[in-house]
Amino acid sequence: MKLLSIDDELNLMPKKQAKNYMVLFKGNNYEMGVGRAGCYEGHSHYSLTDLLFSPNGITCETKDVELNFSRLLVVPRKTYMPKVSIGNFFFLKFSTIRQNIIIPDKTTEVFVEGSIGSYFSRANLEFPWYLPATDRFGKIEVTLDNLNLILCFDGQRSIRIE
């Protein structure tokens, strides 16, 4: 299992750089990276599910509820995520549908509100993951264990994020 330290990755970036994409969508079918603590403007994704993890916490207000001090947010495609205040973080974006994805996928359009998954200390989640090169679905398994996040890509590669 590969270990990824959010803070170690951020220390490799120039201080003025807010986010770093470690894996790009093209050829990989997912985007992955790290970002610095701060407030980020609200947005949706046309086709990608957005997963945000911060051991230091995430605060986000939705139409129905304040998601105060989560560690893991799962934002389905076409779900609007309002402005977030977040500690240093890890992000993963992937497609759960059979569709041609055009990057960049981000928009400020509000499609749906209020269906954001919020987790504080423990979660075991599984998502379909579309692999266009093979025209099949794999899966991404996500385990939140307090201050660590473990990802398993189609039963093959595992990453522990801290």
pLDDT of 113-150, one tens digit each?
668 888 999 999 999 998 877 888 999 999 999 899 99
Amino acid 64: pLDDT: 58
Amino acid 27: pLDDT: 81
Percent of the chain with pLDDT over 90: 62
Interval 45-53 mean pLDDT: 94
Using one digit for the tens of pLDDT, what is the confidence trace for 62-101? 665 556 678 999 999 999 888 899 999 999 999 998 888 8
Per-residue pLDDT at 28 exceeds 90: no
Interval 96-113 mean pLDDT: 84
Q: Taking the alpha carbons of 11, 28, 126, 158 in that order, is the dihedral positive or negative?
A: negative
Q: Are strands 157-161 and 2-4 parallel, antiparallel or unpaired?
A: parallel
How far, CA to CA in Å, does 24 sit from each of 20, 86, 146?
10, 22, 27
Amino acid 85: pLDDT: 93
DSSP conformation class of 9: H
Query: Is residue 18 within 8 Å of 35, Cβ to Cβ?
Result: yes
Cα separation, 2 vs 13, in Å, equals: 20
Amino acid 116: pLDDT: 86
Interval 52-60 mean pLDDT: 92
Task: Give me the residue spans of the domains in the chain.
Answer: 2-12+31-119
Mean of all residue pLDDT scores within the chain: 90
More confident residue, 26 or 142: 142
Q: Does domain 2-12+31-119 have CATH number 2.60.120?
A: yes
Give the count of alpha carbons within 13 A of 90, CB side only. 26
Question: In sequence order, what DSSP letters do the residues of 38-97 get, joined into one string?
Answer: EEE--BEESSEEEEEEEEEEEEEE-SS-EEEEEEEEEE-TTB-B--EEESSEEEEEEE-S
Per-residue pLDDT at 8 exceeds 90: yes
Amino acid 67: pLDDT: 61
